[in-house]
Structure 1
Amino acid sequence: MPSVQSFKMTYDLLNDRGTFSEGDPVVGKVTLVLFKEITVESLSVKAKGDCDVRWTEKQGDRQKTCTATKRCFKQKQFLIAENSNGTVLTAGTHVFNFRMNIPSGSMPPSFRGDYGKIVYKLEARLCRSWRLDRTDEKEICFVSKAIPNLQSLNSSQVGSTDKEIGIFGRRKVDMDVIVDKSVYAPGETVVVLAKVHNASSSNMTPKVSLYQDVVYITPHSKKQQRTTIFKVADSCINGTTQKDVKWAIKLPHDLTQTIQNCDIIKLGYYVKVYLDISFSFDPEVVFPVVIIPPDLAHGPQPGVAVGPYPAGAFGGQGNSDFPPTAVAMGPYPAGAFGGPSNSNFHPPVVPGGPYPYGQPGSYSAPPPAYPAQPAHMSQRYNIPVPQAASPYGDPYNAPSSTLHPPPRAPTFHPPPSAPEIQPPPFSQAFNMSPTAPAYDTLPSAPMANTDFLSQSDEAPPAYLLLFPPPANEKSDAK
């Protein structure tokens, strides 16, 4: 007569779908009914998740088996601790409660395919000396909530394609397609909009399909399996016609979740929109879509950005009910000299101070538009440096409703310079080499504006006319 009447394990469900995710607790009990007293070495409960891939392929005259395994996690809890002497259990019903937590790391969802599977299960084991172990296994349905950039997948997808048709007179066919978003839950509706411009003389039929791609990976081989889930066709589009097509397709309720976080099994879904053209290659646009658990498809959560930018980012979509802070639209940050300020108040006035806006040095002056002139240039010429006009006008004469930039730094007047004279040409104005000091030189000869070579009949000019004696010397003529 056997000693054990029944050995059974049960666990509590967390939701109506009976699914578990990362970080969820698994609470259950093990019930042991005995006909008579027994001695138990140990009683344990183990939770684990494993990925397995296996298929055979022909290589020449031999069959090659491709396999790969990966363990997601494993936890073990003893309900009766291991004891070499054993633990005595009396006849009757014994109930042992257990509680285990699934790790919070990213793990792939449950999946069963033709060449691989991802299985999560609980296993209770009763060990006795000189007896076979009694076990009871329960498979749990695991769905992964570790989906990166989930909220950014709610934005629409846009694509286009074109194709030239014809032999002698080639005409182009254009198609622009929009899919309402990139992420769906089983049972949701996929909305696809297509605008077709058929400039050719050929007839064509717009179609849309959803297919599933599963890739099984081993260290030395890879196997891909594609399955079409649905295909829908619209009415024919005649030549030289433009038409807008819209599809609203409901997804099946038994779709497997997208698998992106597994090394040996990849599962993805794709929406393909194409034009079926006879005797020609079909132009198509393919969009990847992500299938998620239904409890994650409740729309955007508070404080999470919807779109490719994080919440509150400049240029992105924010979720705050308050108006955004003013941002400087220019080369200077907000509050910098010459740029707009975010404050509606003027800087405080320090009573009794020599400066109307507080002590000097509180605000830094803007960088000069041109480098400072050397000292030797300011001594020779007084060339004013052009100043860049402020794009925001005069901050002191602006109306009170405008935003005022901070005040300028105090202005220091340079010492008076030499009287202004006519500046040199532009090419010599910025000559950085120092100039020699001016000396009193001998008077030069008068300018000869007459061509002496062409006037051979006239006498040459006198010597004293060309080289007059100095004024302080006495003339020999006296």
Structure 2
Amino acid sequence: MLATIKNISVTYDGVGKSFSSGDFISGRITLELGKDCKIDYLSIKAKGKSEVRWTERHNNTTVIYHSKDKMFSIEQFIIREQKGQDCNVVAPGTHVYPFTIQIPQQAMPSSFKGAWGKILYTLEAKLSRSMRISSKARAEFPFVSKADLGSIPELMIPQHGTKVKKMKFFTSGKVGMDIHIERMGYYLGEDLNVVVSIENSSSREINKYTLYQKDSFFARGKRRVSTKDILKELGEPIPPSGKLKVTKVLKIHQHIVPSIFTCSNIKCEYRLKIVLDVPYARDPEIKLPLVILPATQTSGLQPPPYLTLGLTRRERKPTRMEQHTTISTAPGAYPPTAPGAYPPTAPGAYPPTAPGAYPPTAPGAFAPPPAYGMYPSLSDFGGKSEWEKR
């Protein structure tokens, strides 16, 4: 028996590029039908969420730790439910429905996948039919948070660390280490200049440089941490009874995840660790906090002229009396200039001056929730942060 819905998929323009707050995402829903299909509604939803999950064994009981946080959710209706026996009946064939959605202008964390949690941004197409299970298709898109060193004064503060250690047992004398970096914040791809001054009255040593990532996951009042080294390099050997001052240049790789401080259940931090490799003694080390920002910011994309206006706030369901908007009802009707497509001059179309249209200041349009603080509690970097106190 021939299936009514043979396939549904969602794609977006600019695959391989990253999106940021305020950008427009344009794409299309492709619907392949085997026979006539009466549709209650067809919608596209853009959303961002974070999720954390891990399990622990306590005696004979397995405890699941799980938490979720939603950054935003915007749903746009392309076909709406209408009264009438023949309303919203779509003929067999392939139908393509273009859409454009704007990401809210608010601070949100970058896309992330870690040991026990992830931050995802997705587009989800949903086709609803009476007395049938809804058909869905999903596409994940990369999101990069916006940040500027100049707008966050704490990130421009120079970092400094000092360590003096007396040698015992098999090694005599003492070593002193003094570390300077020019600021706390760096962009991906930047060079990190580390100025190291070492005074050595002990035996021969080598200093090691490590940039490592520390991910924290929070659920049900508990915290899990995972760490991994991003880069490791050796410095020059230090002669006995000598002094050495060098500048070590470390490259911050482009492929790592920017720091995350604006998510309630996931935190991503970076530390620079400098260690003196001392024979027959515990190695002295210094750790300095770093905040890694995205390398470049994507420019805001402009909406195309066929932008539909079915934006809703959060999860509102369409009413039966709302306007029916079908981008394409004939097989292969895309692009929008084809017969039956959405003309820009139609009632309720773009530009935003039309009644009920975007931008968010229009009545009934999407109004994003208050923005998160971009980098809270940076003054706590020297001790425990707000997340570590939980």
Asked whether the two chains share a fold, i.e. TM above 0.5, the reply is yes
Distance 1:91 1:169 in 2: 84
Q: CA deviation at 1:41?
A: 0.8
Report the CA distance shift for 1:40/1:240 in structure 2 as closer, same or farther (over 3 A).
Answer: same
Counterpart for residue 233 of structure 2: 232
Counterpart for residue 174 of structure 2: 172
Identity across aligned pairs (percent)? 33
Q: Looking at both structures, which has the greater relative contact order when contacts are Cα pairs under 8 Å and sequence separation is at least 6?
A: 2
Whether the 8 Å CA contact 1:41–1:84 is kept in 2: the answer is: no
Whether the 8 Å CA contact 1:107–1:146 is kept in 2: the answer is: no
Distance 2:297 2:169 in 1: 51
Normalising by structure 1, we get a TM-score of 0.57
Q: How does 1:392-403 map to 2 (within 5 A)?
A: none
Whether the 8 Å CA contact 2:147–2:294 is kept in 1: the answer is: no
Q: CA deviation at 1:156?
A: 3.9
Counterpart for residue 32 of structure 1: 31
Counterpart for residue 315 of structure 1: none
Structure 1 letter corresponding to 2:222:
S
Aligned with 1:153: secondary structure? helix
Aligned with 1:295: secondary structure? coil
Q: Deviations over 1:234-260 (max 9, x none)?
A: 232232111123322223331011101
Q: Which has the higher strand share?
A: 2
The count of corresponding residues between Structure 1 and Structure 2 is 294
Distance 2:199 2:72 in 1: 53
Structure 2 letter corresponding to 1:193:
V
Counterpart for residue 217 of structure 2: 216
Q: How does 1:313-328 map to 2 (within 5 A)?
A: none
Pairing partner for 1:184 from 175, 183, 186: 186
Q: CA deviation at 1:104?
A: 1.3
Whether the 8 Å CA contact 2:209–2:274 is kept in 1: the answer is: yes
Aligned with 2:189: secondary structure? coil
Q: CA deviation at 1:181?
A: 3.4
Counterpart for residue 160 of structure 1: 162
Q: Deviations over 1:26-54 (max 9, x none)?
A: 22222223343221111011111111111
Structure 2 letter corresponding to 1:77:
Q
Whether the 8 Å CA contact 1:205–1:276 is kept in 2: the answer is: yes
Q: How does 1:3-402 map to 2 (within 5 A)?
A: 3-13=4-14, 17-83=16-82, 85=84, 86-146=87-147, 149-150=151-152, 153-154=155-156, 156-166=158-168, 171-199=173-201, 201-296=202-297
Q: Deviations over 1:191-210 (max 9, x none)?
A: 212111112x3322111101
Distance 2:177 2:191 in 1: 22
Report the CA distance shift for 1:33/1:175 in structure 2 as closer, same or farther (over 3 A).
Answer: same
Distance 1:175 1:296 in 2: 37
Q: CA deviation at 1:271?
A: 0.6
Report the CA distance shift for 1:167/1:93 in structure 2 as closer, same or farther (over 3 A).
Answer: closer
Q: CA deviation at 1:134?
A: 1.9
Report the CA distance shift for 1:169/1:112 in structure 2 as closer, same or farther (over 3 A).
Answer: closer
> Is the radius of gyration larger for structure 1 or structure 2?
1
Aligned with 1:20: secondary structure? coil
Structure 2 letter corresponding to 1:190:
L
Q: CA deviation at 1:153?
A: 2.7
Aligned with 2:237: secondary structure? coil
Report the CA distance shift for 1:155/1:28 in structure 2 as closer, same or farther (over 3 A).
Answer: same
Report the CA distance shift for 1:296/1:93 in structure 2 as closer, same or farther (over 3 A).
Answer: closer
Q: CA deviation at 1:281?
A: 2.3
Whether the 8 Å CA contact 2:188–2:292 is kept in 1: the answer is: yes
Aligned Cα root-mean-square deviation (Å): 2.4
Structure 2 regions of 5+ residues with no counterpart?
Answer: 299-390
Aligned with 1:254: secondary structure? coil
Q: Deviations over 1:281-316 (max 9, x none)?
A: 22222111122211159xxxxxxxxxxxxxxxxxxx
Q: CA deviation at 1:154?
A: 4.5
Distance 1:144 1:27 in 2: 19
